[in-house]
Structure 1
């Protein structure tokens, strides 16, 4: 944890413990500097961050004070009990609309889960790209046939090692993003008409992919803090012929939960006993707010039933489309499909990302990205507390940049989407995250942009629209 984050945590603890109350003046910069053993500039940075989150307010010639809303703690959404019956997956034009809005400069981007390029290590990645183009010009214009550039696979294997997970470099296949990795895994272990168990709610692109493959979804009740209800999954598997399970175990999209290690281990053991493959999409794991990266499910895999997928789209460069899959016992079949459907992933982007990872710049940039995302997630939660109806519920993730918001029961997330779009604001309606069209009064909010792009006026406008819809107007 960075020093200014430690100071922020100290102030936050003083507030939650009651040592500081709303309206109280916090220790001066000099006093806090002496108490914490850090520089005055470090304390200043911490206080400014807390001010952005709405926890502190600066008063001219006086200092920093705890705001009236500093102790606002919105309720978390509750786990929904879903029907444990497999069903077909409906999709309409709304899916395409969400992505089309993400590229429009006139739209406030709370919809698609896309981080701002201002957060990404653009300059460092471009330096790495130029080095590769200069040093290996002939290689960058040549094919990199599957399983992909070895230098990149070595860096990914090293990352797994840091997570206490043994993955050999020759077990990794480079893909064009995590979506291709999931697609290859699903195509390998399922056939049209098969049943796949998913979290509820789950990322809508997973549902779209399953629809395209002709698969049936069975939704498993999912806790907003700990993830998939494993007892419910066990019961579902007793009555349904589940061919695969998909999970986003760390900072899940859209709920933001992190599955505890004991649950990950139990899940892997349950599926191993049944020889049912687990596809894990661990694309947010590096964006943790705490001191330690959470483990992947792959860590607990002793029989090769976990198909582990990842990418660098959320933390390095979405446009480079660099992902990977560790298929375990399904390696040969996944490799054959990769060769048949997409004979090679672009060489330049693989080499550039490998060079960037090897330079050490990635780990340095992650510290900045994590701190920024933690600050923005906290600020958006504060804005929701201030401007949305009091019965609104919102998640509190420990990483990533997604918030799941449960609106008053009579407010349609789809209606809010339509009304917000008239104000040039994009959100994602909750119904997209369920094959059963549940979560009609929910929305997902992207917190991957700073307050220069997403201002308080945006949440004031959304709050007014929600209250108007609640009144039936």
Structure 2
């Protein structure tokens, strides 16, 4: 019996050591799936329990991680998170937004086949079910000739609104389909929400850093902004929000609550509930952008802050641009008690969103294909994000810090302070590489040595581009 126990221990340690070597040699790279327990049991001629012991040891050593209903994956290497911005609550005050043109350049680079698109947060080509969607659209247009060519007046096609309402139950809230307004992407949804709530000269509270295209939007709406700092580990700093609201009176607050762009962090349910309670106490409506909510790296859809709204003062925005097809421009806004104002604004701004794409997305959701598609792309984005983070760790200067997102596909990278990301941007452009400098994500100078990278664009084919960025960053640091 003693000899049998020793042999068993030797076998699981042998399997552990073998898998460790394979990870170290790059046979299995960060983000990639390990062989299943059953596969390894068959190939090595050992029991399931023996393999499980080996995997549990690797998991304890943080070499691999278990993902529910998916298997075991190689963990990213241990990176330090970027520091939380050093903002002091009492000193926060509204500021005007300076003009900028680089953000539009970055978005245009996404369509340039000669550029490596690490700058714009666009989905990976292999994650877009183009053939399936095209087939569905053609079928729907044949079957619904009139609906496919007529204006889909606000609030939009009812079948799509019903499907969106059903999906929102997974996020913890019950929304009447008649409340949902179909928009031309999430940006129009956010624009309509802000236009509904704010007037020129009003102040808007935002989580910072914030998606750079939103800053351009705030400028066009003539809004002042209050930047509330966000931690890359826990999200929006609610203590600072509460303190600020006692001295300032913003017209609204805008927050990306799940897999924030650029940080990739989600607020916990407790923090979402507390945020809604704080804003309700100060009578400040919330615009919640949930564009990445379906892109969790595990097959569990996070809640939205709207789930705790009792007064109809959370305007929830989303779209299918990151999960299905950015070119379809199918977004939506659940406007709460402000829905009628949002409907009227939609009529004035763009009259109606495209009918054929609404019909196609509605059918894709109705058929059940969307959930299967999400399970597929969640694994791809988890792997791409981990692999790109590992490459940054190898290529960028010592002291570089990287976020650890649990969904979406953006990485927020803090380089040594000597590296100016605007200078890096110009040098990268000359090499055919697009990046998003950190200074675009704030009106302050806090993020000048940061950069946001689009992990969806990561591939072995583009590895040279990241190596080039790392060399440039090291050169900038050495020359300072």
Say whether residues 1:205 and 2:213 are aligned partners: yes
Deviation at 1:164, TM superposition (A): 2.4
Deviation at 1:437, TM superposition (A): 3.7
Say whether residues 1:33 and 2:33 are aligned partners: no
> Aligned equivalents of 1:140 and 1:288: distance in 2?
33
Deviation at 1:462, TM superposition (A): 1.1
> Aligned equivalents of 1:31 and 1:205: distance in 2?
45
Retained in 2: the 8 A contact 1:143–1:347? yes
Cα separation, partners in 2 of 1:214 and 1:36, compared to 1, 3 Å: farther
Cα separation, partners in 2 of 1:459 and 1:25, compared to 1, 3 Å: closer
Q: Secondary structure of the equivalent of 1:404? A: strand
Deviation at 1:449, TM superposition (A): 2.4
1:82-128 C-alpha deviation (Å, 9 max, x unpaired) = 35111001122212211121111111110000112221111221121
> Aligned equivalents of 1:332 and 1:171: distance in 2?
9
- How many residues matched? 435
Question: Cα RMSD between the aligned structures?
Answer: 2.9
Cα separation, partners in 2 of 1:417 and 1:36, compared to 1, 3 Å: farther
Structure 1, unmatched stretches of 5+, are: 1-10, 48-54, 57-65
> Aligned equivalents of 1:201 and 1:461: distance in 2?
26
1:356-403 C-alpha deviation (Å, 9 max, x unpaired) = 111111111111111100000000010011111120000000000000
Cα separation, partners in 2 of 1:244 and 1:425, compared to 1, 3 Å: same
> Aligned equivalents of 2:37 and 2:174: distance in 1?
47
> Aligned equivalents of 1:386 and 1:413: distance in 2?
19
Retained in 1: the 8 A contact 2:100–2:216? no
Say whether residues 1:295 and 2:295 are aligned partners: no
What residue is the counterpart of 1:381 in the other structure?
Answer: 389
Say whether residues 1:74 and 2:82 are aligned partners: no
> Aligned equivalents of 1:446 and 1:280: distance in 2?
22
Deviation at 1:445, TM superposition (A): 0.2
Deviation at 1:25, TM superposition (A): 10
What residue is the counterpart of 1:61 in the other structure?
Answer: none
Say whether residues 1:434 and 2:442 are aligned partners: yes
Say whether residues 1:468 and 2:478 are aligned partners: no
Farther off after superposition, 70-79 or 122-131: 70-79
Aligned equivalent of 1:196, options 192, 204, 207: 204
> Aligned equivalents of 1:437 and 1:144: distance in 2?
44
Retained in 2: the 8 A contact 1:124–1:361? no
The 5 Å alignment of 1:193-342 reads 193-342=201-350
Cα separation, partners in 2 of 1:422 and 1:164, compared to 1, 3 Å: same
Retained in 2: the 8 A contact 1:33–1:39? no
Q: Secondary structure of the equivalent of 2:457? A: coil
> Aligned equivalents of 2:351 and 2:298: distance in 1?
39
> Aligned equivalents of 1:159 and 1:336: distance in 2?
25
Retained in 1: the 8 A contact 2:381–2:455? yes
1:406-441 C-alpha deviation (Å, 9 max, x unpaired) = 011111000111111111111100000002243000
Q: Secondary structure of the equivalent of 1:272? A: helix
What residue is the counterpart of 1:172 in the other structure?
Answer: 180
1:310-356 C-alpha deviation (Å, 9 max, x unpaired) = 00000111111000000101111111111222211111111111011
Deviation at 1:452, TM superposition (A): 4.9
Aligned equivalent of 1:346, options 345, 354, 359: 354
Retained in 2: the 8 A contact 1:108–1:453? no
Q: Secondary structure of the equivalent of 1:444? A: strand
Say whether residues 1:130 and 2:138 are aligned partners: yes
> Aligned equivalents of 1:99 and 1:171: distance in 2?
31
> Aligned equivalents of 2:359 and 2:460: distance in 1?
33
> Aligned equivalents of 1:116 and 1:438: distance in 2?
30
Cα separation, partners in 2 of 1:320 and 1:289, compared to 1, 3 Å: same
1:14-54 C-alpha deviation (Å, 9 max, x unpaired) = 79xx999957999x9697625599999xx9xxx9xxxxxxx
> Aligned equivalents of 1:336 and 1:24: distance in 2?
56
What residue is the counterpart of 1:399 in the other structure?
Answer: 407
Cα separation, partners in 2 of 1:315 and 1:85, compared to 1, 3 Å: same
What residue is the counterpart of 1:52 in the other structure?
Answer: none
Structure 2, unmatched stretches of 5+, are: 1-12, 29-33, 56-62, 65-72
> Aligned equivalents of 1:92 and 1:205: distance in 2?
10
> Aligned equivalents of 2:140 and 2:43: distance in 1?
43
